[in-house]
Structure 1
Amino acid sequence: MLRFMFVGDSMTIGSAGEHTWRYRMWQHLRDTLGDGGFAVVGPRDTLYDQSAGEPLSHDYADADPDFPRHHLAGWGEGWLHMAPRVAGALARDPADVLLISLGLIDLGFYTNAEQTAANVRAFIGRARSARPHIRMVLLPVIPNIRAESDAPFAAEVARFNELLAKTVADLDTGSSPLLLASSPPSYDIHLDTYDGTHPNTSGEHKLAGAFADALGQAWGIGGPYAPLLTRPTG
């Protein structure tokens, strides 16, 4: 059985009343691997409560009792924050595959492209210290509203994505493979987010699809992500 852990920032933890792309990915894995073919693990299980300003909510949009809410994601947390936490999380909840979406919050508030890339390397090293054969799928920083209006920030995002690709190429090993997912090609911040950054329903599907397609194409895990029209829109 493959054990997956979702690692991310506000786009991954989601906020009260949302499905999250984690839910969409779980649906895909369930459909392609079967209920007994995988597990979702992680030390956290809440959504962010925007009114309280804390990750206190269990109000997921879908009340499916089978959906495992576990994750390692946090509102306002990036590579800087997750690098020191990943080894402990994996010691507590051993995973075989990390699905990682981080970087935007780092570049927006904490570190430049080079510093963020250094934190990616630290994260990978610490994850491997806990799980030497861990696999990781890393998503580049995807389109966002600040990059649309702030040219220097957009350049920093582009630079980080170049460094991320180099890091994946440099640190990929046969015993602990790394995979760079592709940014969803049709992702449109005006159609796929509710505020220019955080995914709405279609955005959730496209983020899940990016990870699903990477897993299927590179490692033969699961298969192509089902078209949006074949999945519930709610």
Structure 2
Amino acid sequence: MRFMFVGDSMTIGRAGDYTWRYRMWQHLGASFGGPYEIVGPRTWLYDTEVDAPRSYAYAAPFPADARRHLAGWGEGWLHMAPVIRETVTDQRPDVLLVSLGLIDLGFYTDSGQTALNVRRFIAESRAANPQVRMVLLPVIPNVRARADAPFAAECDRFNELLAKAVADLDTAASPILLASRPERYDLDTDTYDGTHPSASGEHKLAAAYAQAMHQAWGLGARYEAAA
């Protein structure tokens, strides 16, 4: 089975991070019952010093073939919907693990427009692979939403529209899961800046996907974070 991570800055990570992709790779290696592969057209981290995705300075050894992803600093549903058909055609993922939305709402589109891009993303993914599976993460707690009530309302509205899109578009041939927001996600300890995950936040993000796939599809096992 071939997995592809799709996301924004929380997924690509910055130089010096482990990333939640690394945590998921560790989990799959320990719990997945069959052959699997991580796929994607990119492998780098974001280097904040040069303001570009040029770093391979992961916090721990991470095999090159497991670093693959489709994630970008500052990229959202708006950016991924136009490229996902070509990427799925080329990379042939069976499962998309998607974390997008916060950057859209913060800089590009309102909740309704963002939800339309979600639907376009799903349609384009299926145009490339009619049997592709997807696990979508809602917008999770963040520092701007804690301080900005109108923005928090947009995040909540988008999450409602995301849940509706999943309910409307889920099929037996191409199932879509809405992962639960990470349990007990604390901005002061699970992020390093109120948005991007710290080591504990990385484990909680990976766990959200792992639990969804295990409970709904019987893939892998329950997530056991390192102490």
Place the TM-score, normalised by the shorter chain, in its bin. Answer: over 0.9
2:182 alignment partner, SS class: coil
Question: Is 1:12–2:11 an aligned residue pair?
Answer: yes
Q: Deviations over 1:191-227 (max 9, x none)?
A: 1000000001000000000000000001000010004
Specify which of 63, 85, 107 is matched with residue 105 of structure 2: 107
Specify which of 42, 46, 53 is matched with residue 44 of structure 2: 46
Checking the alignment, whether the CA contact within 8 Å between 2:43 and 2:64 is kept in structure 1 is no
Checking the alignment, whether the CA contact within 8 Å between 1:26 and 1:67 is kept in structure 2 is no
Match of 2:188 in 1: 190
TM-score by length of 1: 0.95
Match of 1:232 in 2: none
Write the letter of the residue equivalent to 1:141: V
Q: Deviations over 1:169-197 (max 9, x none)?
A: 00001100000000012111111000000
TM-score by length of 2: 0.98
1:202 alignment partner, SS class: helix
Could you tell me which runs of 5 or more consecutive residues in structure 1 were left unpaired when the two chains were aligned: 230-234
Question: Cα gap change, 1:67/1:206 in structure 2, threshold over 3 Å: closer, same or farther?
Answer: farther
Question: Cα gap change, 1:64/1:47 in structure 2, threshold over 3 Å: closer, same or farther?
Answer: closer
Single out whichever of 25-34 and 79-88 deviates more from structure 2: 25-34
Question: Is 1:73–2:71 an aligned residue pair?
Answer: yes
| Number of positions where the alignment pairs a residue of Structure 1 with one of Structure 2 | 227
Moved >2 Å (runs of 4+): 64-67
Question: CA separation in 2, counterparts of 1:116 and 1:218?
Answer: 26
Residue 67 of structure 1 deviates from its aligned partner by 6.2
Residue 37 of structure 1 deviates from its aligned partner by 1.6
Percent of aligned positions that are identical: 64
Q: Deviations over 1:13-49 (max 9, x none)?
A: 0000111000000111110115x62100000000001
Checking the alignment, whether the CA contact within 8 Å between 2:22 and 2:62 is kept in structure 1 is no
Question: CA separation in 1, counterparts of 2:54 and 2:31?
Answer: 32
Question: Is 1:83–2:96 an aligned residue pair?
Answer: no
Q: CA RMSD in A?
A: 1.0
Match of 2:159 in 1: 161
